[in-house]
Structure 1
């Protein structure tokens, strides 16, 4: 009921937005009208309008936007060019190979997502500020918190962006430095955090609270050295501690429970976007990652696209190769869990690997599998079985159809559509715990850092605790826990690993990707269409 209640209010907001922008017959007699005077009288009416700002977040879970540029540019995700599929003008290869170009449409989509959300927040703030209603102050604070989230993502991805807060200002905005954007977001959060609600219940689910705003500020401080040149580990630790010590959130006994179809009961998720396959669509990972014939595994109403895959080395970071040699290279036969004689990381549920079957348990055949596929296609008289293997042969042009562990972090619904109903997790407690561990480690408080990291490992299941904490195992643990939660690119940059040679693909006929920490490639280029539309914008250094 909590999820349904909030989605209903979001949809009311969408409906108002629709009617406000629709064409009308000016000669038609108007019997009623929604105005500031006769509408914003109750909290429910404010919340329905707020829905317009929150629904902008619906772009997170689909292809070619902010999530995609962060993940494909990291060492987690690749979308290989599979024969005639997924070349798409080379834009996906450019992202993974760090050949960023300002005309890549993924950057334009991401910019539109961010500034579309900012613009909606500004419009609603402008409307609420005209009201003589004591309730408006709290809702304006909530909108400023949401706007701060969009700006935090913008400064992380693009760095030097315009700061726009006045909806009535028609002047084209100037580019502001990353330091200025950082200072703006921090100033906004410092002002509104005391005004935000602290409750965790049906009235605040999927909405900005003190705790989600503290997560944004914690992230700012955690990455402050990257953003401004001045580390802020103690301040990051203070915000993380406040969230943890509140006692409002607790780790779920099962990691997987945070990502179920019905994950609104998670005690760990701090801020989510409540997708719904009927009322709030756009969460398309089931289409983006599964093989075409996986439709028969889950009885899906639509055929998946066979696109997004996990980088092999990243998958193998969950499995000790000394205890499980079958996971390495082209000899892998999809038996990782069965072959392992050591400990099992329960977070392997993040991936779909091994032989795939129809929903009735019969073998699922991939009629288009390549003759060079190493999964034993010639051994089955009934045809080649679909087998997802972590092995990736190359990125282009001959990526194998069955190569790459598939993203299975969120539960797939049997009988599901191309839209998933799982709530998309933006912030959760485990990130705060690992962030506190990192901040303490950076400050030399290694005993406390070790205990925090081992708390996360203990929940993962059957894992031996670390006996010491190092930068390497802290970084690796963040990767395993936070897979595809849009943190990895940021972590790579902060740990000075962004640009290391993580490309294992054979047949690429090009040098390994290597660029030094601090490279201009740590920022994405300002999209070319934005530069053409607004001559006051300045391209990030290093890009033409």
Structure 2
């Protein structure tokens, strides 16, 4: 290979490297069905709407009726409903309730023979951490720095501060369920990076301390007991947990 060819290849390689550093891909999607968080939060109503999604996560399993567009893929959508899964784990393992049907491994709760591969256990595990993920992202998007960037002031900012405290409560609630049901679990907060990584495990003792610390911190930030909108957490919910 002559010198000209070598220099050409080196130059070509450098051009690709330099081109990758120009942030050409940092653009707003042109597909009208794809939106970014910046676009979502241009609408002041979005903050409460996303908080509503967090609360709805305790009751609904997806975006469309009893089935269709599920939050979590790869599992039966009914198995992945939060309170249904919580009830299964709390009640079917006792003599307080009996299931009259035979869905997959459901009777294993009665017989005390469940294992790591049980579909109902994995579905509830996924639901808990999906819920925590929703809370983490909302908390990331409601920092003082983010609100300053969006010029959020006045009564809206005050409302968002309450929403943020409620999201922290909902996250603490889900971590409490994770602690109660699974013990040592992965631990992720708004301070962790977004994307695929192996989160560290947290011990029961440390997770309990985290939940307690969160509740003590958010108590003064919550709306007074019985003064919030119906269905939303307040100081009494913090006292309960």
TM range (shorter): 0.5 to 0.7
- Equivalence for 1:172: 198
- Equivalence for 1:128: 142
SS of 2:57 mapped into structure 1: helix
- Equivalence for 2:56: 55
- Say whether the 8 Å CA contact 2:165–2:218 is kept in structure 1: yes
- 1:112 lines up with 2:136 in the alignment: no
Which of 160, 169, 186 lines up with 1:145 in the alignment? 169
- 1:74 lines up with 2:94 in the alignment: yes
Gap runs ≥5 in structure 2: 1-27, 60-80
Give the structure, 1 or 2, with the largest relative contact order (CA under 8 Å, sep 6 or more).
1
- Say whether the 8 Å CA contact 1:56–1:117 is kept in structure 2: yes
- Say whether the 8 Å CA contact 1:142–1:208 is kept in structure 2: yes
In proportion to residue count, which structure has more helix? 2
- Say whether the 8 Å CA contact 1:66–1:109 is kept in structure 2: no
- Say whether the 8 Å CA contact 2:40–2:46 is kept in structure 1: no
- Equivalence for 2:107: 93
Gap runs ≥5 in structure 1: 1-23, 81-85, 217-544
Alignment of 1:350-365 (within 5 A): none
With normalisation by structure 1, the TM-score equals 0.31
Change (3 A) 1:34 1:173: closer
Which of 200, 203, 218 lines up with 1:192 in the alignment? 218
- The number of aligned residues is 178
User: 2:41, 2:177 → 1: CA distance?
Assistant: 35
- Equivalence for 2:236: 211
- Equivalence for 1:158: 182
The alignment yields a C-alpha RMSD, in angstroms, of: 2.6
Which of 30, 33, 58 lines up with 1:26 in the alignment? 30
Q: Deviations over 1:70-105 (max 9, x none)?
A: 11011201225xxxxx3334x222111211201110
Change (3 A) 1:27 1:107: closer
User: 1:27, 1:204 → 2: CA distance?
Assistant: 36
User: 2:112, 2:186 → 1: CA distance?
Assistant: 24
User: 1:189, 1:47 → 2: CA distance?
Assistant: 21
User: 1:27, 1:169 → 2: CA distance?
Assistant: 23
- Say whether the 8 Å CA contact 1:197–1:210 is kept in structure 2: yes
- Say whether the 8 Å CA contact 2:222–2:235 is kept in structure 1: yes
Change (3 A) 1:152 1:48: same
Change (3 A) 1:97 1:168: same
